[in-house]
């Protein structure tokens, strides 16, 4: 398959200088694939406020790929949010991923003044008008705290109506859940692009832990195969690349408007999939 669909890559800010240098090198490698944008996660409660800001400004200014900070409202005051948003605007940043966030365990209850992502979208629009392209999160398999699919769908629609321009999904391995979610959003008259979030497969234990926490189902046939590979990381990577490439092909064939890769700060697992999609198999 050959595709020119827009792609984007997500990073997390690192705790050490060595990690930061490695992240910049990874980003330079991924920049060669021609992404539409990069994004950098934010530790809810402001735990990575400086690291996220520094990484965003360097990727944007030095690696020269437009970069979007993630911003979460669950632990930040309106004043904190206002000053960060204005700072990003003053530095020429034009896209924000607006989230509620999850406070890390041990940080107590949410201390923010805004409770849900739709309120953050409204806040950004009220403060900065149309300056930012605002992305929000979408959950084709439902957010883990949602009581049911319908309620979560209505809450997603609130974010679109609050002024989101586009959405990025939680990762998933079942293309049908994405198509079903998009159909339901369209039936509600919402037409913003919904970009699938793609998690490359490189390590079964970590993937299983993440997936439990964020509510992404690993199909039994994938789980069984990964378990059978044990510590054989080459076989896991080869199988993972094939499975994820096929998932991406199906999504793009079915009309997905682009792909957003959760890189976990590694270049090769995402690039292997992108190469397959761009016809270098």
By CB under 6 A, name the binding residues for ligand FAD. 41-42, 44, 70, 72, 97, 99-102, 116-118, 137, 143, 145-146, 151-152, 155, 158-159, 168, 170, 197
Least CB distance to ligand FAD at residue 232 (A): 30
The least CB distance from residue 139 to ligand FAD, in Å, is 7
Residue 53 or 159 with smaller CB distance to ligand FAD: 159
Closest approach, Cβ 158 to ligand FAD, in A, equals 6
* CA neighbor of 136 nearest in space, from 164, 94, 178, 95: 164
Q: Would you say 78 or 224 has its CB closer to ligand FAD?
A: 78
What does the alpha-carbon distance between residue 7 and residue 274 come to, in Å, rounded to a whole number? 9
Structure-token pair, residue 177: 């859940």
Active site residues per annotation: 10
Which is closer to ligand FAD, CB of 195 or CB of 236? 195
- Rounded to a whole number of angstroms, the minimum distance from the CB of residue 242 to ligand FAD is 24
Instruction: Compute CA distances 4 → 35, 38, 141, 224, 278, whole Å.
Output: 10, 17, 27, 33, 7
Q: Which long-range contacts (CB under 8 A, 24 or more apart) does 154-162 make?
A: 155/116, 155/118, 156/185, 157/185, 157/188, 157/190, 158/116, 158/118, 159/98, 159/117, 159/118, 159/121, 160/136, 160/185, 160/190, 160/192, 161/118, 161/190, 162/118, 162/119, 162/121, 162/122, 162/125
Rank residues 195 and 271 by Cβ distance to ligand FAD and give the closer one: 195
């Amino acid at each position: 398959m050959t595709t020119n669909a827009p792609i984007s890559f997500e990073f997390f800010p690192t705790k050490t200088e060595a990690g930061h240098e490695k992240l910049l090198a990874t980003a330079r490698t991924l920049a060669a694939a021609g992404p539409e944008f990069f994004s950098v996660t934010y530790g809810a409660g402001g735990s990575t406020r400086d690291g996220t800001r520094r990484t965003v400004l360097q990727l944007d200014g030095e690696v020269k790929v437009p970069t979007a900070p993630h911003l979460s409202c669950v632990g930040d005051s309106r004043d904190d949010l206002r000053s960060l948003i204005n700072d990003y605007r003053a530095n020429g940043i034009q896209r924000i991923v607006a989230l509620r966030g999850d406070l890390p365990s041990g940080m107590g209850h949410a201390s923010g003044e805004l409770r849900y992502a739709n309120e953050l979208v409204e806040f950004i629009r009220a403060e900065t008008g149309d300056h930012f392209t605002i992305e929000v999160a979408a959950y084709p398999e439902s957010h883990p705290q949602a009581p049911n699919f319908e309620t979560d769908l209505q809450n997603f629609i609130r974010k679109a109506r609050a002024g989101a321009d586009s959405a990025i999904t939680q990762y998933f391995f079942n293309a049908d859940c994405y198509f079903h979610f998009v159909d339901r959003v369209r039936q509600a008259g919402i037409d913003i692009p919904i970009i699938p979030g793609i998690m490359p497969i490189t390590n079964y234990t970590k993937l299983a832990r993440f997936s439990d926490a964020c509510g992404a189902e690993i199909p039994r046939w994938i789980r069984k195969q990964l378990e059978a590979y044990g510590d054989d990381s080459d076989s896991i990577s080869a199988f993972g690349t094939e499975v994820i490439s096929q998932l991406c092909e199906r999504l793009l064939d079915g009309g997905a408007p682009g792909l957003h890769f959760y890189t976990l700060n590694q270049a090769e697992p995402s690039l292997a999939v992108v190469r397959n999609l761009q016809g270098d198999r």
